[in-house]
Amino acid sequence: MRHASGLRKGDTATAMGAAGGNSSSASGACGGGDNGDNGVGGVGGGSGVGGGGSPSPTAVADAAATAAAAAELAELTLPPVTPATPHRADLRLLDKSGLPTGGANGGRREVPLQLLLLPGTTRGQGACGRVVEGLYGGRRVAVKLVADTHTWGGPSEELLQTFEQEVEVLGRCEHANVVRLIAACLQPPRLCLVMELMETSLDRVLHGRPGQALMPLDKVLHIAIEIARGLAYLHPFIVHRDCKPANVLLNDPWGPRPVVKITDFGLSRLRSTVQATRTPGAGTPAYLAPEGYDAAINVITHQADIYSFGVVLWEMLSGSQPWQHRDMMTLAYDVTVRGQRLPLKALEAGGRCPHKLRLLLQQCWEQDPRRRPAAAELVKELARVMQYSTCLASPGPTLFRM
């Protein structure tokens, strides 16, 4: 029986790592770093490999780390992961029914492809591992490499379960606003995800340039609508649980209509398994819904993502990080007991937050999760706000005295 990754335990393959040669430092990333990392760390100035001057110590260390990771990944095959790939839950049901378990591809194994890691292309690093660029099947990809389990804060089995969960969730997804999982390996200790490459994260666009101007309102609304579309696709089956700018990836980030995709599903839960989560407080505190702080609540639903979405929208409007200089205990008390929410008056007074948008944000932040709007409803309401704002910004007809 195959795992969601398309690999059986014990399967091997041929993934090659590059320790030499040149590589351009594209500004792409897979996203979703840990401990507040953007997941799209800039390299700056190229990799130092094959350049005219001496490579910097950082570039040398990065290339060495990538080469070491490549050596660890040697002798692995990575069959592609597609929505047609059978999943464990699906296979269990099919086993009980007695039907064939070959899936949409008639039981054929996917052809393994070679993975080539590119030195000097680290895009993000956290406690769990890092994201580097690579080549897979002739295309440039983002490769999420998991650190050695001995350096990870939890037991290796817990790490493997988290990683398998991300593969299980992403392997089911095929949507324009969800980052695509291309391949994966779940054979300890060589754990990696191969994902489509994106240019940068929303977090880096918002906070990567000190003193930068606020994002135009129409662009804020466009990105918000795209995020809401991705959530609307996910929510019938999946709760993301960590919606934040670092987990929203962009292509053409400085254009008026960037491509927007949700990423990092390590904390996600399938709706069929959400009844009893062992980690109700999982997520990033500043974006966590009130129910996420309550240890007595062991059911976290898609409405928690709606609350987090409201915080992301506020962050785009204000250009500020939410709840700065507030520790987790204070924040938990303020949000759950005192019912505090992020300030909106200054945004509304400055014309950044039309009245209808303010009402929508307040609905996203309702204390009772059942009163928050659905993601599909957010798409419709935000489109109306965008249409209204465009009409206000457009000059009226010029009148001439006859």
Count of Cβ atoms closer than 10 Å to residue 238 Cβ:
24
Encoded amino acid at 223, one letter: I
pLDDT of residue 89: 44
pLDDT the model gives residue 127: 62
* The total number of structural domains that make up the chain: 2
| 181 and 253 fall within a common domain | no
Tokens encoding 187: 């054979």
pLDDT at 315: 98
75 Rama sector, left if φ>0, alpha if ψ -120 to 50, beta otherwise:
left
115 lies in the same domain as 238: no
User: Could you give the CA distance from residue 144 to residue 125 in angstroms, rounded to a whole number?
Assistant: 10
Question: Alpha carbon of 218 to those of 84, 230, 317, 391, 393: distances in Å?
Answer: 37, 19, 10, 11, 10
Alpha carbon distance 212, 400 (integer Å): 41
What CATH number has the domain bearing residue 318? 1.10.510.10
pLDDT tens-digit map of 227-242? 999 999 999 888 888 9
Q: Are residues 68 and 109 in the same domain?
A: yes
Residue 198 confidence (pLDDT): 96
Active-site residue, from 242, 252, 334, 368 = 242
Residue ranges in the chain modelled with pLDDT below 50? 1-52, 75-76, 83-109, 152-155, 273-278, 280, 398-402
Per-residue model confidence (pLDDT) at position 43: 30
Judge contact between 356 and 331, C-beta under 8 A: no
- Is 203 known to be catalytic? no
Domain boundary among 134, 162, 196: 196
- What integer pLDDT is reported at residue 125 of this predicted model? 76
Question: Residues 39, 137: contact at Cβ < 8 Å?
Answer: no
Peptide bond into 83 cis (omega under 30): no
**Are residues 155 and 220 part of one domain?**
no
Are 73 and 173 in a shared domain? yes
Q: Which helix (H) or strand (E) holds 117?
A: strand 115-117
Residue 364: predicted pLDDT: 98
Structural domain boundaries enclosing 363: 201-392
Regarding whether 172 and 69 lie in a shared domain, the answer is: yes
Asked whether residue 260 falls in the same domain as residue 348, the answer is yes
